[in-house]
Amino acid sequence: MDLSSFLTSLGTSFVIFLILMLVFAWLSSKPGNHVVYYPNRILKGLDPTGGSRTRSPFAWIQEALSSSEQDVISMSGVDTAVYFVFLATVLGIFVLSAVVLLPVLIPIAVTDDGIKNAKMINNQTVQTFSELDNLSMGNINLRSNRLWAFLLATYWVSFVAYYLTWKAYNHVSALRAEALMSPEIKAEQFAIIVRDIPPVPEGQTRKEQIDSFFRKLYPDAFYRSMIVTDNKEVNKLWEELEGYKKKLDRSVAVFAASKTEAKPEGVRPAHKTGFLGLVGKKVDSIEFYSEKINELVPKLESEQKATLREKQKNAALVFFNNRATAASAAQNLHAQIVDKWTVLAAPEPGQLIWANLYIDFIHRQVRQYIVYVIVALMILFYTIPIAAVSAITTLNNLKKWLPFLKPVVNIGALKSILEAFLPQLALIIFLAMLPKLLLFLSKSEGIPSVGHAVRAASGKYFYFTVLNVFIGVTLSGALFETLETIQKNPNSLVPLLASSLPGSATFFLTYVALKFFVGYGLELSRIVPLIIFHLKKKFLCKCEADVKDAWTPGDLGYGTRIPGDLLIFTLVLCYSVITPLIVPFGVIYFGLGWLILRNQALKVYVPSYETYGRIWPHIFNRIIASLLLYQLTMFGFFGVKKFFYAPILIPLPIISLIFAFLCHNKFYRAFADTALEVARYELKEAPNMEQVFRSFVPPSLSSEKVDDDQFEDARSQVSRSGSFV
């Protein structure tokens, strides 16, 4: 890729971004589109545009910049505020790094002639992005004293990262504490999960076993227990019933809409009962769905009773009447052997993965190791197609392996566009298929909550992308271009790598530019969600519930967004000293991301769960991993440059590990558990423990037909044989 191709990529991406910004300003002003651009405000009962009729098309920028952290917490929760702490921290690292790297390293590099000498020594033309490589460490001669500046810069970037991540950990810890000591009643703060319960002793029920165990330990604070059951069958019936209820609502809405002045009796909707409604007997939809509901209700009630009596498992939720006792119980060792009476803090009721609660200790350990092996094999074997993508999608290699494309790719304008975008687009599409598989694998480990599963999948996705994208593309790119020369002259390997490795940065320069201009442009404009919403509204939505489902935006998607941001952080960090020109791209990516996603958090996305910042230790660990990779990369590259003083960098990875160890010891425990200092704060009112208890009852086991007293009586009657409560 030459300079013109790079400028074409950058210019085209910038133009696309400007167009998407203008499209957003125009479309977001239309009242019919407010549900797409302001759903978070609408769901909270706020005016979408703040009540202004003469709103500036760029008012969102000022609103995002002037918003406070408390604004973000009130609209999108603590987890979202923590995500912005991450963005601000990384942005600060690159800004402070750029203060030294750009004015110091670029002049030192550009005034040397290392690339020219490498060409002369090897008597060949190195395939390199020469105009920009002259600004990089690759242009420094072997053993040159100029390398001292790059070595000191490596230390500067590292210590900037230590300082800012330490400050961020302190800040996030305070955010979490403030949220947990809130006087508002949160049901999860009064409950714990108990797993690996021993077999029921003779003469006792499961309920009596659990109640007696915890009542003896916490006589003043124990409230009651809820036995976990196998809900597979009852969930099927409940989901089927809910599906018919929705279809009935749609049919009633269609029938009501068909009533006009000319035809006041309307037209009753009908459908065929066969495959996809295309074949089979034609029936009246309202009557058909009503009959199905009437058939399923008694079946569901019968299955609920059978589930409560006969499908109890070796896990339970235990409730306490004060949150300090619940916090204490969640972090206590309740049995001499760790595979009995395993206890952990309860997440929000909606986060529970019920089927994972009763997987026993040994099976969880086995599942975890199996998943780790599967992920390791995926990383190993995905390297092959990633390397193929990075190598084959260059135009020279396309013409070599697919000669029939030569007339097409030789067209001037098309050549520049393909060369600028093809490898990056291929890589982005290739990686888009991965997250759901990793989330499925994480849930398969036996993780008890959605938030925890998302964090686990996020970690897997990060290591996958870093090992395959960063390492795979870098090494395959350098070796692929120089393989033939290395075969002819093996002694040329070291100087060839020294001159070729910085050239890989050009791929990542265009990759980062494409991500922040086109990626964030699409994020802001929400073109795809807007089109999908209007198509659904026109052709699929039959009632208000359908319309609401069509525009409900979901959350920020931490499972993929955070690993994606960490990948960019890793790329920019690892090339920050080798090719300082990449640092401004990192600044733009995280600065633009902070601005646009601030707007989206305040107005668009609705969090699906809250963990009060528990994602931060995982983010911190990935930042440390990136820092170690950066330091090892620099040590290796100084070795390639044959710099005698390269061992001076050896303390850096050791310092990073010590720093991570200190942070872990100082902060992590308060993220793994709730500190009693925090939990002891008074609530604004006494908790309604029955309401707390019922918030954890699965929807499929809730009864709408009987009143609360009758439902409680029914549960008490099955207590002797082991009950749900």
- pLDDT confidence of residue 707: 39
Cα angle value 656/627/588 (rounded, 5°): 140
**Is 485 a domain residue?**
no
Model pLDDT for residues 593-620, shown as the tens digit of each residue: 999 999 999 999 999 999 999 999 999 9
- The C-alpha atoms of residue 132 and residue 258 are separated, in whole angstroms, by 67
Amino acid (1-letter code) at residue 497: L
Domain-terminating residue out of 387, 414, 445: 445
Model pLDDT for residues 217-238, shown as the tens digit of each residue: 999 999 999 999 999 999 999 9
Model pLDDT for residues 575-586, shown as the tens digit of each residue: 999 989 999 999
Q: In the chain, what is the straight-line distance between the N-terminal and C-terminal CA atoms, in Å? A: 67
Q: Is residue 560 over pLDDT 50? A: yes
**Is 459 a domain residue?**
no
- The C-alpha atoms of residue 304 and residue 405 are separated, in whole angstroms, by 64
Domain shared by 303 and 222, yes or no: yes
- The C-alpha atoms of residue 229 and residue 722 are separated, in whole angstroms, by 11
- The C-alpha atoms of residue 595 and residue 601 are separated, in whole angstroms, by 10
Model pLDDT for residues 671-715, shown as the tens digit of each residue: 999 999 999 998 888 999 999 999 999 999 986 553 343 334 334
**Is 480 a domain residue?**
no
Confidence of residue 292 (pLDDT cuts 50, 70, 90): very high
Q: Which of 480-484, 620-624, 630-634 has the lowest mean pLDDT?
A: 480-484
**Is 456 a domain residue?**
no
In terms of Cα–Cα distance, which of 222, 226, 236, 208 is closest to 357? 226
- pLDDT confidence of residue 719: 37
Domain-terminating residue out of 410, 445, 480: 445
**Is 57 a domain residue?**
yes
- The C-alpha atoms of residue 473 and residue 426 are separated, in whole angstroms, by 12
3-state class (DSSP) for residue 542? coil
Amino acid (1-letter code) at residue 703: S
Q: Which residue has the higher pLDDT, 710 or 550?
A: 550
Considering its fold, how many domains does the chain have in total? 3
Domain shared by 406 and 310, yes or no: no
Domain shared by 372 and 339, yes or no: no
Give the count of alpha carbons within 13 A of 624, CB side only. 21
CB 513 within 8 A of CB 9: yes
Domain shared by 155 and 192, yes or no: no
Burial profile 375-395: b = 16 or more Cβ within 10 angstroms, e = fewer: beebbeebbeebbbbbbbbbb
Residue 631, domain extent: 3-184+494-680
Domain shared by 318 and 335, yes or no: yes
Model pLDDT for residues 158-185, shown as the tens digit of each residue: 999 999 999 999 999 999 999 999 999 9
Give the count of alpha carbons within 13 A of 281, CB side only. 4
Domain shared by 518 and 536, yes or no: yes
Q: How many CB atoms lie within 10 A of CB 177?
A: 17
Strands (E), 332-472: 342-345
Domain shared by 162 and 193, yes or no: no
Confidence of residue 640 (pLDDT cuts 50, 70, 90): confident
Token readout for 707 is 């009143």
**Is 453 a domain residue?**
no
Token readout for 49 is 């545009």
3-state class (DSSP) for residue 606? coil
Angle between helices 473-488 and 361-392 (to 10 degrees): 50
- The C-alpha atoms of residue 391 and residue 477 are separated, in whole angstroms, by 6
Token readout for 36 is 């797409």
Task: Give me the chain's average pLDDT, please.
Answer: 85
- The C-alpha atoms of residue 707 and residue 552 are separated, in whole angstroms, by 32
Cα angle value 599/604/609 (rounded, 5°): 110
Domain shared by 530 and 670, yes or no: yes
- The C-alpha atoms of residue 395 and residue 386 are separated, in whole angstroms, by 16
482-488: Cβ within 8 A, 24+ apart: 482/126, 482/127, 485/122, 485/124
Alpha helix stretches (DSSP H) within 501-613: 504-513, 520-525, 527-539, 544-551, 558-575, 582-603
Domain shared by 16 and 49, yes or no: yes
Domain-terminating residue out of 347, 378, 394: 347
- The C-alpha atoms of residue 718 and residue 723 are separated, in whole angstroms, by 6
DSSP state string for 49-81: TTT-SS--TTHHHHHHHH--HHHHHHHH-HHHH
CB 567 within 8 A of CB 462: yes
Domain shared by 161 and 223, yes or no: no
How far from chain centre, in Å, is Cα 244? Answer: 33
Domain shared by 337 and 422, yes or no: no
- Range of 13-27, 158-172, 406-420, 472-486 with top mean pLDDT: 158-172
Q: Which residues contact 323 (CB under 8 A, 6 or more apart)?
A: 189, 190, 674, 679, 683
**Is 488 a domain residue?**
no
- pLDDT confidence of residue 94: 97
**Is 714 a domain residue?**
no
CB 300 within 8 A of CB 241: yes
What helix, strand, coil percent values describe the chain, rounded to 5? 70, 5, 25
For the question of whether the overall pTM of this predicted structure is more than 0.85, the answer is yes
How far from chain centre, in Å, is Cα 519? Answer: 16
Q: Which residues contact 654 (CB under 8 A, 6 or more apart)?
A: none
Domain shared by 338 and 415, yes or no: no
What is the percentage of the chain residues whose pLDDT exceeds 70? 82
Burial profile 310-342: b = 16 or more Cβ within 10 angstroms, e = fewer: ebbbbbbbbbbbbbbbbbbbbbeebeeeeeebb
- The C-alpha atoms of residue 435 and residue 432 are separated, in whole angstroms, by 7
